[in-house]
Amino acid sequence: MDELLQELSRIAALLLPILGVVVLVFLVLLLKRALDMMKQLSGTVTKVDSAIVTVSDRINDLKGPLHTLNKLSGSIDLVQDATENAIKSLFMTVVSNFDLIKDWVLSFINKRKDKKQGNIDPLEGEEIA
């Protein structure tokens, strides 16, 4: 049993430096890949920063037209409100004076009818007796 342990100790002593070198190689490869990834990340961040600056410039370029559109929209809203109020007040005027308008229209129609029949003097607009 002692001989087996001594043999294993000797084999482990031979394999330990080899395994250490293999682990170091893997560690070096891992660090190299990490550095390459950091370089790519740095390039990507630079490109993204450039894109953000470009987008910011374009947004600043759009501020003027957007301000104009906002003012135009406000003007259109004012025109719409004024038109709406005018139509409402016209409707209210027609409703409140409906009898007067009806009488005026009927008298106008009757005058035209009488004029076609020849009963109205064209100079005075009154009936001929």
On whether residue 124 sits in a domain, the answer given is: no
On whether residue 128 sits in a domain, the answer given is: no
pLDDT of residue 115: 82
**Band of residue 117 on the pLDDT scale cut at 50, 70, 90:** confident
On whether residue 74 sits in a domain, the answer given is: yes
On whether residue 129 sits in a domain, the answer given is: no
d(CA 113, CA 111): 5
The pLDDT of 4-10, averaged and rounded, is 90
pLDDT in tens, 51-85: 999 999 999 999 989 999 999 999 999 999 999 99
Q: Which of 105, 82, 83 is nearest to 94 (CA)?
A: 105
On whether residue 122 sits in a domain, the answer given is: no
Number of folded domains in the chain?
Answer: 1
Torsion over CA: 38, 39, 43, 44 (sign): negative
pTM over 0.85: no
On whether residue 70 sits in a domain, the answer given is: yes
Let me know: does 128 contact 121? Beta carbons within 8 Å. yes
Domain range holding 102?
A: 2-117
